[in-house]
Amino acid sequence: MKYSNPVIKGFYPDPSVCKVEDTYYLVCSSFQYFPGVPLFESKDLVNWTQIGHCLTRASQVELGTVGSSGGVFAPTIRHNNGRFYMTTTNDTTRQNFYVWTDDIYGEWSEPVFVDQGGIDPDLYFEEDRAFFMSNGVDDNGIGGVVQCEIDIETGSKRSPSRSIWKGTGGRYLESPHLYKMNGRYYLMAAEGGTEYGHMVIYARGDAPSGPFESYPHNPVLTNRNLGGYELQGVGHGDLIEDHAGNWWMLHLGFRQIGRWLTFHHLGREVFLTPVTFDEDGWFTAGHNGTTLTSFETDRIPDTVIQQAPQPVTFGNTNWALDWCYLRHPAEENYALGTGKVTLKGTEISLDVPASPTFIGLRQRDFAAEIACEVNLTQGTGEAGITLYMDEQHHYDLAVRRNADGYAVIERLNIGDIKSVEHTVELGNSSQAKLIVRASHERYSFFVEADGKEVLLGTAQTRYLSSEVAGGFTGVLIGLYAQGEGSAAEFSNFKCEYAG
């Protein structure tokens, strides 16, 4: 069977995976978006279906006015004695916590906090013991991968926090995960920063607290030396054993917009890479330690067919699964139907770290056409489609009320520069069909009114990239309304991918 990477496209970074019976479960970071921590399931490791979120209530996570790329970092999912656990960091409040559920399709618990600092927490269970790890500083001020034993019922520490491994010397040691395989304990982590120098490293020892011996050929997986290759930033992985006893790594990476164009705006995505153990008990990953855009493998049956992306509409998506909000939404401003959405605007704009009236889904591929009919039914504000990276980097195509009636605007927000580039007057009509066509390098903005399609302008995707905007997120396709007392109806939404 030949499968293509990424196996989950779009802004779904920092994957962690576990297996229960014949089903795999995977979680990803969500940062300032709500609900938090998307949750997926799969039967074959290639096709993933979102089944929920772990953080669905405001009481579980403080988002408030956290800035972009703040909030919920790097979760880990584990299963023990019939119970699922998800542990993560709220980087804004600097707290590590976990939630649990006995029903993977149901609600998760209120947070249980652990008095250990750092980020990217991990849980490891052995018999009746639970070990908690993060990357940070231990009780004696020593940095590295830090571990303590906890009471899993309360989160209280049963042992001091102690640094058990310092990695291989690369910058930004993060993403620790502990496993027991073939009688040994393996500690895997990432270094290099979640960018072009990212890499996966590991060590092994004879006890869960070490000491650990580093793999002699670290890093075990990285694309850092593959200049001119689409897949970059490979790192932050989690290991999983499949039904047949084969090992795999689910990890993040990103696709740059061109062979020599070192920009990425879709965010960090989920990749699947085969892992192989040698006779000495060390493992290797991928193709000579790199991840490829596709792998030919006999580990997955030829009967497994990797599903192609389907057009996205209001009717075939689930508002609670596929769509998300910026921080905690004011629910009274959203009326979400199967064929029509009504949004009420407020004075909060997309430019501030708060919760504007916004509902979005991840952009999953470079080539896409996004279309929606927008009717500004009330007030003097605006409503439309935004391609949103963060508060300072987003492109807006919107219907706006002005002194002479209505108009469609194309606005580019790039850092401190916020410019309405083009305007098409609508006269007394408050309704228009808005269209965005996306490619690797450009977004093109159109309005269809009175049966005619008019190009307002284009903008480069690179200015919505992580290399320009910074941060850890990716572009969301958002529907928004702003302006106190305004309201808008959205209908006939469709997002179709060509790749």
- How many beta carbons lie within 10 A of that of residue 335, not counting itself? 13
Q: Is 417 helix (H, G, I), strand (E, B) or coil?
A: strand
SS (H, E, C) 43-108: CCCCCCEEEEEEECCHHHCCCCCCCCCCCEEEEEEEEECCEEEEEEEECCCCEEEEEEECCCCCCC
Q: What is the dihedral of CA 461, 464, 465, 469, to 10 degrees?
A: 150
Residue found by looking up tokens 């196996």 in the block: 7
Q: Which of 39, 92, 155, 48 is nearest to 327 (CA)?
A: 92
Which contacts of 146-150 are long-range, i.e. CB under 8 A and separated by 24 or more positions?
146/116, 146/117, 146/118, 147/208, 147/209, 148/114, 148/116, 150/114
244, containing H or E segment: none
Beta bridge partners of 375: 431, 489
- 174 among known catalytic residues: yes
Residue 441 to residue 213: CA distance in whole angstroms: 45
Task: Provide the 8-state DSSP code for 258.
Answer: B
* Per-residue buried b or exposed e for 291-323, using 16+ beta carbons within 10 Å of the residue's own CB: bbeebeeeebeeeeeeeeeeebebeebeeebeb
- DSSP one-letter string for 393-404: EEEEEEEEEETT
Beta bridge partners of 8: 270
Task: Provide the 8-state DSSP code for 255.
Answer: E
Token pair for 271: 């990749």
Q: Which of 14, 238, 269, 390 is catalytic?
A: 14
Token pair for 115: 């008095």
Residue 315 gets the label, from left (phi > 0), alpha (psi -120 to 50) or beta, of alpha
Q: Which of 174, 238, 390, 410 is catalytic?
A: 174
Instruction: Report cis status (omega within 30 of 0) of the bond before 35.
Output: yes
Residue 318 to residue 388: CA distance in whole angstroms: 20
Taking only Cα atoms into account, the Rg of the chain, rounded to an integer number of angstroms, comes to 23
Pairing of the two strands 393-402 and 382-390: antiparallel
**CA atoms in the 13 A half-sphere facing the CB of 273:** 32
| Catalytic residue IDs | 14, 174
